[in-house]
Amino acid sequence: MSDLTDVTSLTSMSAARIAAGIAAGEMTAVEVTEAHLARIAAVDEKVHAFLHVDREGALAQARAVDEKRARGEELGPLAGVPLALKDIFTTEGIPTTVGSKILENWIPPYDATVTKRLKDADVVILGKTNMDEFAMGSSTENSAFGPTGNPWDLTRIPGGSGGGSSASLAAFEAPLALGTDTGGSIRQPAAMTATVGVKPTYGGVSRYGMVAFSSSLDQGGPCARTVLDAALLHAVIAGHDPLDSTSIDQPVPDVVAAARQGDVTGLRVGVVKEFRGEGYQAGVMQRFDESVELLRELGAEVVEVSCPSFTKALAAYYLIAPSECSSNLARFDAMRYGLRVGDDGSRGAEEVTALTREAGFGDEVKRRVMLGTYALSSGYYDAYYGSAQKVRTLITRDFGKAFESVDVLISPTTPTTAFPIGERADDPMAMYLADLCTIPSNLAGNAAMSLPCGLAPEDGLPVGLQIIAPAMADDRLYRVGAAIEAALQARWGHPLLEEAPSL
């Protein structure tokens, strides 16, 4: 085995490098896949990023790529690159649990559009990653199948709901992962693990086959270790899908070109005034302020921008998301698929449904279903769901006004670094605050990215910088992200993840 194809070397490579290597014949897709499967076998017992590893399927996909190359066929930009898929995307023939007991052992009969596009692009799907049940949570502790450890400190959370995906990247189990972001579930885990995560414009990536939590907020997106890798993955999964009515029928912005360009000269950057103060960790703000300074040095015009309604975003979110989830999760009734409890011949359907939901849903899911059921009730609808929709409109207007004077907005991704597993488990409000800075973009449907901007001095844990762009201007995220990434790595002399402890 050459140096290039030794396991450590293969698992630390970027997706772009792997794809180029396979295309050039420096390595085979099977070698790359085997290296990652070996890494998973070596470390995932500790990390628990994966709920299901599809060893045979991954190797078969890899072999198909190698055969394609042998036949002289042209390979796509991510052909043969392994990927960890959040367990919220349906995969035909492969279990899809959404981190819930109620779907334990459910094998979908169909592929999500995202899954299909990954397969069509010859991306090798290694398996399905852990997540908070139904994507409800910010720590992955709400998974019915146990928490995931943060590779930076296994006693801490990797963020959530997509903690499995972010941890798989930080643990070098996969160079690419896929997440979904309803209130920050891609960006906050990226911030916790020093990886890159992007929530595309709502409607940019098809939701068909993505198990719904909150339909008007859910958005699938790329997770990677570099901005360019995220862009390459973004380009593969994005674009109009006739199976999703809310999918945008417009060309996808050229995110790959933007990631390769990485220039912020003359770009107008707004710092969101509301996202600092009480509850924000000092080290987080320090790294954030340094990033602001860095942008100035890189030639951007930085101004402070006020978005006053953002302070109400969390409250609006916790009415809209639970309301939609109370309806979306009604289908889990033990009739057609998934768990069935109490069907002993003595009980009627209604009772079996109740027993199944009691046993199959975790506390956080039940909490939100109840919240949402209440908020939609006749007599309360206007006060709760209706008011929340008005706040949503105000937030969208704040963004609109801000984007009249700036090209992108920036903020910390989340107020603190990764907290210890268990610390906020019994305090839902403390947990909800982790998404304070990410939620406004879900409510407005615009695009946002988190990328690493250093380690907090007080705990040595990663800090995320959030970049927000107007809807359908996702390319700006990559342009700014790539510039910051390059400047920071030049300063550090290496990618931040190299500072993570070995597992």
Partner 1 sequence: MTVTELASYEDALDAYDPVMGLEVHVELGTRTKMFCGCATGLGADANSQTCPTCLGMPGSLPVVNATGVESAIRIGLALNCDIAEWCRFARKNYFYPDMPKNFQTSQYDEPIAFEGYLDVQLEDGEVFRVGIERAHMEEDTGKSTHIGGATGRIHGASHSLLDYNRAGIPLIEIVTKPIEGAGARAPEVAKAYVAELRELIRALGVSDARMEMGQLRCDVNLSLRPHGRAAFGTRSETKNVNSLRSVERAARFEIQRHAAVLDSGGTILQETRHFHEEDGSTTSGRIKEEAEDYRYFPEPDLVPVAPSREWVEELRAELPELPRLRRNRLREEWGISQHEMQSALNAGAVGLIVATIDAGAPADQARKWWLGELARRANEEGLELADLPITAEQVARLSELVAEGSLNDKLARQTIEGILAGEGTPDEVVEKRGLKVVSDEGALGTAVDEAIAGNAAIADKIRGGKTAAAGALVGAVMKATRGQADAGRVRELILERLAPSE
Binding site for partner 1 (CB under 8 A): 88-90, 96, 98, 103, 106, 108-110, 112, 207-212, 214-216, 242-246, 323-324, 326-327, 330-333, 335-337, 345, 349-350, 353, 373, 376-378, 381, 385
Q: Which residues pair with 429 in a beta bridge?
A: none
Nearest to 128 by CA among 65, 63, 174: 174
Least distance between partner 1 and beta carbon 90 (Å): 5
Helix/strand/coil for 44: helix
**Consecutive H or E run containing 221:** strand 220-224
Is 161 annotated in the active site?
Answer: yes
Least distance between partner 1 and beta carbon 95 (Å): 12
Helix/strand/coil for 129: strand
Is 185 annotated in the active site?
Answer: yes
Q: Catalytic one among 185, 323, 441, 450?
A: 185
Q: Catalytic one among 14, 86, 166, 309?
A: 86
Least distance between partner 1 and beta carbon 210 (Å): 6
Alpha helices in 270-424 (DSSP H): 282-297, 313-328, 349-360, 363-375, 387-405
Distance CA 264, CA 467 (A): 13
Distance CA 121, CA 492 (A): 34
Instruction: Write down the residue that tokens 């995969």 correspond to.
Output: 91
Report the residue number, 282 or 349, with the smaller CB distance to partner 1: 349
Q: Catalytic one among 138, 161, 441, 450?
A: 161
Q: Is the dihedral of CA 501, 226, 447, 401 positive or negative?
A: positive
Do 253 and 206 contact (CB within 8 A), yes or no? Answer: no
Instruction: Write down the residue that tokens 């009249």 correspond to.
Output: 404
Within 13 Å of residue 44, how many CA atoms lie on the same side as its CB?
A: 27
Report the residue number, 60 or 381, with the smaller CB distance to partner 1: 381
Least distance between partner 1 and beta carbon 160 (Å): 19
Helix/strand/coil for 402: helix
Least distance between partner 1 and beta carbon 387 (Å): 13
Distance CA 260, CA 138 (A): 31
Do 456 and 286 contact (CB within 8 A), yes or no? Answer: yes
Least distance between partner 1 and beta carbon 350 (Å): 7
Length of the chain (residues): 503
Residues that are catalytic: 86, 161, 185
